[in-house]
Chains A and B, each alone.
Chain A
């Protein structure tokens, strides 16, 4: 099925470091969502973005809706061990009603 390009695929970082990941699409999107998934559980919504250029924070997480509407970025500041998991981006455009998902970024935090 169709997927977004999400990078990096995996990251190993030290506790306290900042993390950046991004998603790019060949299509223009109207909504971008960022999720975190832990083993055996469903993805949990972190941040939702609805407008090009929008910058939204949720605690130590900050996400941006790219100005071209074809990309989005997620930053995690001062990472902690519980940030471990897989982070997914998802985008959709009006009229399709269907979300397209990135391939995921697997984050591991070393204490």
Chain B
């Protein structure tokens, strides 16, 4: 079956703009988590959605937000972009919410100029 898909794969934006990233989970997966990955900070957890509700949240400012649709697809939005937001944004999905195995998408590479 198809894996986790993320669109777009690459994005270039300028400071102050906003961006929306999309994640489509593996069929049957209802939990979607978002991560930011940078060389200096590693993998940082942003938030997790399950059944259209945000269930976990990391330590990121309110400029980072997300949502999940009834088909489990999720979007992540970053408003008022800053240079430090340049990163690889990864989503990972799992079947339910517990200790299920989590699978990653290929990521969206965001560059803020």
Measured CB to CB, the residues of A under 8 A from B are 1, 3, 30-31, 33, 35, 40-45, 48, 50, 88, 90, 92-94, 96-99, 101, 103-104
**Secondary structure type dominating chain B contacts:** strand
Contacts of B44 on A, CB cut-off 8 Å?
Answer: 1
**Secondary structure type dominating chain A contacts:** loop
18 residue pairs bridging A and B, Cβ less than 8 Å apart: A1-B58, A31-B100, A33-B102, A35-B104, A42-B6, A42-B105, A42-B106, A42-B107, A43-B90, A43-B104, A45-B102, A45-B104, A48-B101, A92-B99, A97-B50, A97-B56, A98-B56, A101-B42
Most chain B Cβ neighbours within 10 Å, of A33, A35, A99: A99
Is there a chain A Cβ closer than 8 Å to B70's Cβ?
Answer: no
> Using a Cβ cutoff of 8 Å, how many contacts connect chains A and B?
60
Given contacts A42-B107, A104-B42, whether A97 and B102 have CB atoms under 8 Å apart is: no
**How big is the B interface, by class?**
20 to 34
Taking a contact as CB atoms under 8 Å apart, the answer to whether A42 and B59 are in contact is no
Q: Name the CB-closest residue of B to A39.
A: B88
Is there a chain A Cβ closer than 8 Å to B98's Cβ?
Answer: yes
Q: Given the complex of chains A and B, what is the CA–CA distance between A97 and B105 in angstroms?
A: 18
Taking a contact as CB atoms under 8 Å apart, the answer to whether A88 and B43 are in contact is yes
Contacts of A43 on B, CB cut-off 8 Å?
Answer: 90, 104
Q: Given the complex of chains A and B, what is the CA–CA distance between A94 and B96 in angstroms?
A: 12
